[in-house]
Structure 1
Amino acid sequence: MKICFVGHVFHQKTQSHAFFTDILRRLGDVTELYSDPDGSPTCDDALIRRLAAERFDRILFWQTERVAERLLPLDLPGCIIVPMYDSVARLPELFWQRFVKSRFLSFSRAHHEALQRIGCVSHHFQYFPDPGVAPARAIVTDRLDGFFWERVPRSAVNRERVLAQCCLLGISRLHLHAVPDFADDDVGPPAADPEGVALSTSRWFDRREEYDHVAGTPLFFFAPRELEGIGMASLEAMARGQIVVGPSRPTLNEYVAHGTSGLLYEPADRADLALRLPLDRTRLAAMSIAARRKAEEGRRSWLKDIRRLISVVADDGTRWSRHDYSGTFVTDIQRAAHARMARAGDRPADPVTDRREHRDGGAERSQRASADAGEYRRTGS
């Protein structure tokens, strides 16, 4: 089989798609071509001409649906679109309806379901990287620390928001990696240390090992963006047993269960009550273990699911039966329960009072919410 992989030029450096092209090579010869969506209007013209002239059995457009759009008039066979949620979340349904003759591989459940609603053929997959060896992690509650890579400073997920969350969570130390995705967005290091949080900063690392050490040591890992395609950095953090704190948006909320394997907040709420959980040593340790376990179990499921991915790309006619229950529904239930606990009695949420309430009665309510979620998982209703 002759396969063409059309990728985003940015990933040519990061190689975040390498796991996918490695799988494609099991099916045949793979030609890798790259598009620059942020370049000039004519920068992809040579790429378009080559795809129009050369015969491929399969063309996979990895986060390059705009290239696929330009090729629609040619009605090329074997086109498979692999969108990433962070770059397509705001595209209208009309855009996708034009691809009814194509197939989709969706790494976001939310987008997979949106595509199905408008009649597109979509197959959902959830990727997990190799978690490696479980690191030893000590939980020290009197000096909690966190890491945040500020990739989009002018978005809702920025240093000011993260510092406010550190205060809510009792985090006393934060390392800020102040390197945005685009140089034009660079706002530089903080002018002064914030009150109540010891802040350290970095601008770049010469070696990946240096980044891994700085990013992987703190207990808390703040997700760098509001929307993600897959969210490799957060998945790597979960594998290290870190507690990921991030927006309750795809795809992070498709991996993290709020209050169990991480913490999710509402980006539009500056003081999200659901973050004000009683975080004692026992609970922090349980969340760290749950994050690691999720990474391990997710990896095992992904490795089993590779056969289905190969089958879908090959279009070999195999019918696959799958149980694909929504994890985001359970997360919504958990977040609502925790917000009600923090709001108890219509009083302002107070961490000390919340801990007392958790001991005396909140645990019972939490158990009921968990039981409801467990019943949902069993019935799939």
Structure 2
Amino acid sequence: MKNILYLGHSFHQKTKSTQFFIDILEKNYNVDFFWTLPRVASMEIKNSYIWQKDYDCIVMFQILLDVNDLKQFKCQNITLIPMYDNELNKTYSQWSKYYEYKFINFSKSLYNKLKILGIRHNIYLQYAPNIVTDCQKKEYKTKVDIFFWQRSKSLNWELIKKLINKSQVNSVHIHRIEAKETNDLWFQKPKESDITEFNITFSSWFNDKDELIDKIKNCDIFIQPRYNEGIGQAFLEAMAYGKCIISPDLPTMNEYITHGVNGLLYNPKDLIPLDLSNHKIIGERARNTISQIKNIWDTKEEKIINFIETSTSKHKHDFSNIKKLETNLKNEELNFFLDDLKLISGVSSKSMIFSLQLNQLEKTLNSLKKENDTIILYGSGTGAKLILGFIPEIISYLVDIDDKKHGNKLFGKEIFPIKKLFENNNKILLSVFGRSIEVIQSLEEIGITPNRIICLDLS
């Protein structure tokens, strides 16, 4: 058998959440394991023996090293398995450096992003766990029992309460991680009045996972505990149990769930009560969905092994695909950018039209930096925060008409009065989306020439 190196996240060594993939590798290879954490992976690997060992293949699951680190391995037949939720902050230019490597994606959104980039060795696989047939509650009740495991500070009880109608709820069970409540930084305990009205019970970390599973089996509704996932083992297992899932309308959950059909999706920016009356049929459809996906997954082993063993051919990276997108955008190909930006920037819906194209335009903006010593950002609101979050190295400083903002800083960039624009002839990038026409007119009226203004407002 061939020898393979598996680099994995230390947390998965405990949770076994990637065991489904390891099982395939161990069936086909002699596997060496190296467990680490993303923040220390480079240092720990450099201090180990694995750099120069002559492996046939290397697989990195949720450990995405810098390209310069990857090039140090003696074995260059490397397959990378990034997680959607871990890599949201990577820009086009950062992703493009990985074009020589192979990618297995468990998120369709991430797969699409790499596909648009022109990364050739890139496949998408949708995983599903085994179906469980003995966990549906025997009696049907009009009022539901809800299970919620709080794993995010912002996705908390106050948010959940806005999604459910008290008249449809029999009980709520809230699970937290730490045994001692004060040690659980994420946990938000409901008010005593809510505990009474919603019949809320609590649990903390179980020594045996079966205890947690029993809690989930006894519920009707499973609340997805995080805004985004890499795969989403928790909600997938709940679907396999036949539970109705309530989830944010974000990847990877919305890659499995269709609202009102096999789950209930909500917009985190527009919280309205969901109708839970069809929870039973929705749960049955959820389990059927997992069953269908599992049947497909079970046929993918040969494809996975062939992909891992196939060496990539060296080729010059071609950015023409990105350039084409800059001039001829197709929104159906770019929906995933919208999901990214919902999570990263929190921008308002008015800015979303621009946001869809920000990643592509980064290359254009970087080219402007080569042509100009500095670029000035006009405005210091939501749009400015969004731009600075992605391309801070381009921006020299900000100008704003609001006197109260002058002298303050936004992400380390100082905000000046409009008169600062007349100190040089540098380009001015507008960040006020939805009203750029008025801003351009006002700038021209005070003597700013049109050739200095860069407008990215697509509305």
TM class, shorter-length? 0.7 to 0.9
- For residue 159 of structure 1, what is the aligned residue in structure 2? 157
Instruction: Report deviation, 1:136.
Output: 3.5
Aligned residue in 1 for 2:446: none
Given residue 87 of structure 2, which amino acid in structure 1 is its aligned partner?
A: V
Contact 1:7–1:64 (8 Å) recurs in 2: yes
**Which residue of 1 is the match for residue 93 of structure 2?**
94
CA contact (8 A) 1:149 1:176 kept: yes
Tell me the amino acid that sits aligned with residue 285 of structure 2. A
- Cα distance in 2 for residues equivalent to 1:212 and 1:305: 28
Please show how residues 57-96 of structure 1 align to structure 2 within 5 Å: 57-66=56-65, 70-72=69-71, 76-96=75-95
In the alignment, what sits opposite 1:347?
Answer: none
Paired with 1:265 and 1:299, the residues of 2 have a C-alpha distance of 26
Judged with a 3 Å threshold, the aligned counterparts in structure 2 of structure 1 residues 184 and 150 are, in CA distance, closer, same or farther, namely closer
Alpha-carbon offset, residue 20 of structure 1: 0.8
SS of 1:308's equivalent in the other structure is: helix
State how far apart, in whole Å, the 2-side matches of 1:110 and 1:291 are.
21
Contact in 1 for aligned 2:221/2:279 (Cα 8 Å): no
Q: Distance in 1 between matches of 2:118 and 2:41?
A: 33
- Is 1:117 matched up with 2:112? no
Please name the residue that 1:264 is paired with. 265
Note if contact 1:166-1:197 (Cα within 8 Å) is conserved in structure 2: no
Q: Give the AA of the match of 1:199.
A: I
Indicate how the Cα distance of structure 1 residues 316 and 304 shifts in structure 2: closer, same or farther if over 3 A, else same.
farther
Shift of 1:249: 0.9
Return the letter of the residue paired with 1:13: K
> For 1:19-38, what aligned pairs fall within 5 Å after superposition?
19-38=20-39
Percent identity between the two aligned chains? 26
Residue 165 of structure 1 and its aligned partner are, at CA, apart by 1.6
- TM-superposed CA distance for 1:207, in Å, is 1.6
Tell me what 2:293 maps to: 298
Q: 1:193 to 1:87 in 2, by over 3 A?
A: farther
Q: Give the letter aligned to residue 160 of structure 2.
A: V
Distance of aligned partners of 1:307 and 1:183 in 2 relative to their CA distance in 1, 3 Å threshold: farther
2:101 counterpart of 1:106: no
Counterparts of 1:140 and 1:42, CA distance in 2: 55
Kindly provide the CA deviation profile for residues 312-343 of structure 1, in whole angstroms up to 9, marking residues without a partner as x. Answer: 112299xxxxxxxx9x99xx9xxxxxxxxxxx
Counterparts of 1:1-381 in structure 2 under 5 Å?
1-38=2-39, 42-47=43-48, 50-66=49-65, 70-72=69-71, 76-120=75-119, 121-138=121-138, 140-152=140-152, 154-155=153-154, 157-167=155-165, 170-179=168-177, 185-187=185-187, 189-190=189-190, 192-194=192-194, 196-271=197-272, 276-277=274-275, 279-280=276-277, 283-315=278-310
Aligned to 2:65, the other structure's residue is in SS state: helix
Residues 307 and 42 (structure 1), Cα distance of their counterparts in 2 relative to 1, 3 Å cut: closer
**Would you say the 8 A contact 1:105–1:122 is kept in 2?**
yes
Q: Which amino acid aligns with 2:290?
A: A
CA contact (8 A) 1:137 1:241 kept: no
Give the secondary-structure state (helix, strand or coil) at the position aligned to 1:312. helix
Q: Which amino acid aligns with 1:164?
A: K
Larger Rg: 2
* Residue type at the aligned position of 2:212: Y
- Mapped contact 2:157–2:189 kept (Cα < 8 A): no
**1:179 maps to amino acid:** I
* Structure 2: distance between partners of 1:208 and 1:13: 11
Q: Residue in 2 aligned with 1:354?
A: none
Q: TM-score, normalised by structure 1?
A: 0.74
Deviates most, 127-136 or 210-219: 127-136
Q: For residue 24 of structure 2, what is the amino acid of its counterpart?
A: I
SS at match of 1:29: strand
Provide the C-alpha distance between the structure 1 equivalents of 2:167 and 2:72, rounded to a whole number of angstroms.
53
- How much has 1:27 moved relative to structure 2? 2.6
How many corresponding residue pairs? 311
Give the aligned residue type for 1:212: I
Distance 2:15 2:219 in 1: 24
CA displacement at 1:139 relative to structure 2: 6.1
- 1:178 alignment partner AA: R
CA distance in 1, matches of 2:184, 2:97: 34
CA contact (8 A) 2:127 2:294 kept: yes
- Measured at CA, do residues 79 and 52 of structure 1 come closer, stay the same or move farther in structure 2, by a change above 3 Å? same
Aligned residue for 1:66, secondary structure, equals: coil
Give the aligned partner of residue 341 of structure 1.
none
What's the CA shift for 1:183?
Answer: 5.6
Q: Any idea what SS the aligned residue of 1:162 has? A: helix
SS at match of 1:25: helix
SS in 1 for 2:122: strand
Residues 116-158 of structure 1: per-residue CA shift (max 9 Å, x gap): 1111121000011111335343464442111011012x23x22
1:370 maps to what in 2? none
Residues 151 and 180 in structure 1, CA contact (< 8 A), matched pair in contact too = no
1:168 Cα deviation from its structure 2 partner? 7.1
Shift in Å, 1:201: 0.7
Structure 2 unmatched runs, 5+: 313-331, 339-459
Q: Do the aligned residues in 1 keep the contact of 2:164 with 2:274 (CA within 8 Å)?
A: no
Q: Which stretch shifts more, 166-175 or 17-26?
A: 166-175
Q: Distance in 2 between matches of 1:235 and 1:58?
A: 29
Q: Distance in 2 between matches of 1:117 and 1:239?
A: 32
Note closer, same or farther for the CA distance 1:3–1:40 as it changes in structure 2 (3 Å cut).
Answer: closer
Aligned pair in 2 of structure 1 residues 142, 83: CA closer, same or farther (>3 Å)? same
SS in 2 for 1:245: strand
